[in-house]
């Protein structure tokens, strides 16, 4: 592709199951695009809430409904993207997210500006379940190499979601599409890393889509499954580091802190589960993280370095202590929410 302006055609892929009112808002936002050359491909997954019937009622030649022949898991439905025919460029959107009317127009200009990039994104806004503004995404520089993308993830200075990324179909096929992760936990991250590793990620500063922040598959995934997805993703990064020299340095510098952060988060999540048959002891989680991380980074994460993890392990063995610990976490969360609201008010 030349560096001059080229008219591009896009496929917007929308996997959905029981989208409710959100999917109507999502579809409307796609069909309002100012860039005319696009199609909307809906991967309908045996919805039971009227979504399927509503989708079939859409009278627009730009919309194609691809129905599943049986109920699929989240990851199975998204994996169907590999089996459908798309335009040269494709993006995927969650059924509860939405696009600005100029999203594809901005993407077209960004691709023409960075023809050698292999992944594209714009800035975006977080909204709540009612569509109200929550916050802006963290700022991103125009160009990110794959090791910079991972470093920002590890340092938690990156907002990256399943929606909003644009890629070439040939690159999507080259890297094998989505890998199988339960509920796609870290599956999108792996795909973005694979794609960015082929070239680089180009980002436009315009806020061109909206990500709805509410109860998600990530929050509802069991601790043991989430932990397994994290370990799989870290092993993937370790393997990718052999292809990208700077990525190995990123894992060595920041990987231990990221694993420690994730360990603490999963232990806290485990403490909220009341039934002992549904939860994994905090000490077991910590020991498994310790064994995994030291096998990945011999001089890396050590459980006893984090006092909060040590306290959580102790209180996990004492029901009253666990209740008190959860109360402290709840108060911290409320205070953090109040500070975030004040911050949003100042920026509004």
List the domain range (segments joined by +) for residue 304: 222-317
Q: Confirm whether 307 is domain-assigned.
A: yes
Q: Confirm whether 345 is domain-assigned.
A: no
Place of tokens 């125009």: 142
Which two structure tokens, joined as six digits, stand for 130? 């009612």
Strands 133-136 and 143-144: unpaired
76 and 162 housed in the same domain: yes
Q: Confirm whether 2 is domain-assigned.
A: no
What's phi and psi for 157, nearest 5 deg?
-115, 25
Q: Give pLDDT < 70 ranges for the chain.
A: 1-5, 215-220, 273-278, 299-304, 319-348
73 and 214 housed in the same domain: yes
pLDDT at 269: 84
Which two structure tokens, joined as six digits, stand for 261? 């952060």
Bridge partners, residue 330, by sequence: none
211 and 192 housed in the same domain: yes
Q: Confirm whether 196 is domain-assigned.
A: yes
147 and 249 housed in the same domain: no
Max Cα-Cα span within the chain? 67
23 and 111 housed in the same domain: yes
Are the C-beta atoms of residues 112 and 44 closer than 8 Å to each other?
Answer: no
Q: Confirm whether 59 is domain-assigned.
A: yes
Q: Which of 152, 209, 203 is nearest to 26 (CA)?
A: 209
Q: Which long-range contacts (CB under 8 A, 24 or more apart) does 126-133 make?
A: 126/159, 126/210, 126/211, 126/212, 126/213, 127/210, 127/211, 127/212, 127/213, 128/212, 128/213, 128/214, 129/212, 129/214, 131/25, 131/210, 131/212, 133/344, 133/348
Bridge partners, residue 122, by sequence: 204
Which helix (H) or strand (E) segment holds residue 175: the answer is none
Q: Among 172, 190, 218, where does a domain finish?
A: 218
Give the pTM.
Answer: 0.89
139 and 234 housed in the same domain: no
pLDDT (tens digit, 9 = 90+) per residue, 132-141?
999 999 999 9
Q: Indicate which CATH number applies to the domain containing 198.
A: 3.90.550.10
Q: Among 218, 252, 283, where does a domain finish?
A: 218
Q: Confirm whether 337 is domain-assigned.
A: no
207 and 263 housed in the same domain: no
60 and 170 housed in the same domain: yes
Which two structure tokens, joined as six digits, stand for 308? 């909060």
Q: Confirm whether 286 is domain-assigned.
A: yes
Domain count of the fold of the chain: 2
Dist. CA 315–CA 306, nearest whole Å:
15
Q: Among 218, 238, 272, where does a domain finish?
A: 218
Dist. CA 233–CA 239, nearest whole Å:
10
Q: Confirm whether 173 is domain-assigned.
A: yes
179 and 230 housed in the same domain: no
φ/ψ bin of 177: left (φ > 0), alpha (ψ from -120 to 50), beta (otherwise): left
End-to-end Cα spacing for the chain: 41
Check the CA dihedral 125-128-133-138 and report its sign: negative
209 and 267 housed in the same domain: no
306 and 194 housed in the same domain: no
57 and 93 housed in the same domain: yes
């Amino acid at each position: 592709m030349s560096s001059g302006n080229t008219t591009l055609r896009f496929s917007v892929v929308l996997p959905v199951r029981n989208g409710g009112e959100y999917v109507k808002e999502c579809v409307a936002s796609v069909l309002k695009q100012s860039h005319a050359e696009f199609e909307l491909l809906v991967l309908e997954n045996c919805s039971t809430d009227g979504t399927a019937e509503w989708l079939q009622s859409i009278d627009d030649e730009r919309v194609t409904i691809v129905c599943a022949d049986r109920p699929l898991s989240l990851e199975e439905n998204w994996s169907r993207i590999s089996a459908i025919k798309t335009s040269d460029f494709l993006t995927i959107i969650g059924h509860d997210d939405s696009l600005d009317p100029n999203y594809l127009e901005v993407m077209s200009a960004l691709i023409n500006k960075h023809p050698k990039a292999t992944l594209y994104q714009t800035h975006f806004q977080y909204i709540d379940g009612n569509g109200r503004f929550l916050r802006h995404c963290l700022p991103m520089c125009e160009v990110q190499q794959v090791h910079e993308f991972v470093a920002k993830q590890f340092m938690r200075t990156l907002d990256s979601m399943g929606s909003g990324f644009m890629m070439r179909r040939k690159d999507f096929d080259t890297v094998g599409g989505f890998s199988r992760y339960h509920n796609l936990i870290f599956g999108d991250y792996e795909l973005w890393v694979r794609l960015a590793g082929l070239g680089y990620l180009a980002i436009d500063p315009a806020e061109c889509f909206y990500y709805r922040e509410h109860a998600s598959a990530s929050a509802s995934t069991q601790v043991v499954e989430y932990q397994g997805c994290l370990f799989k993703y870290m092993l993937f990064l370790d393997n990718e580091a052999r292809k990208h020299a700077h990525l190995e340095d990123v894992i060595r510098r920041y990987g231990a802190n990221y694993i420690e952060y994730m360990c603490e988060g999963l232990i806290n999540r485990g403490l909220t589960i009341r039934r002992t048959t549904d939860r994994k002891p905090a000490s077991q989680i910590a020991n498994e993280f310790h064994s995994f991380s030291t096998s990945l980074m011999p001089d890396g994460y050590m459980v006893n370095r984090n006092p909060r993890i040590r306290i959580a392990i102790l209180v996990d063995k004492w029901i009253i202590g666990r209740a008190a610990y959860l109360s402290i976490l709840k108060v911290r969360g409320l205070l953090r929410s109040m500070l975030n609201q004040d911050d949003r008010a100042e920026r509004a």
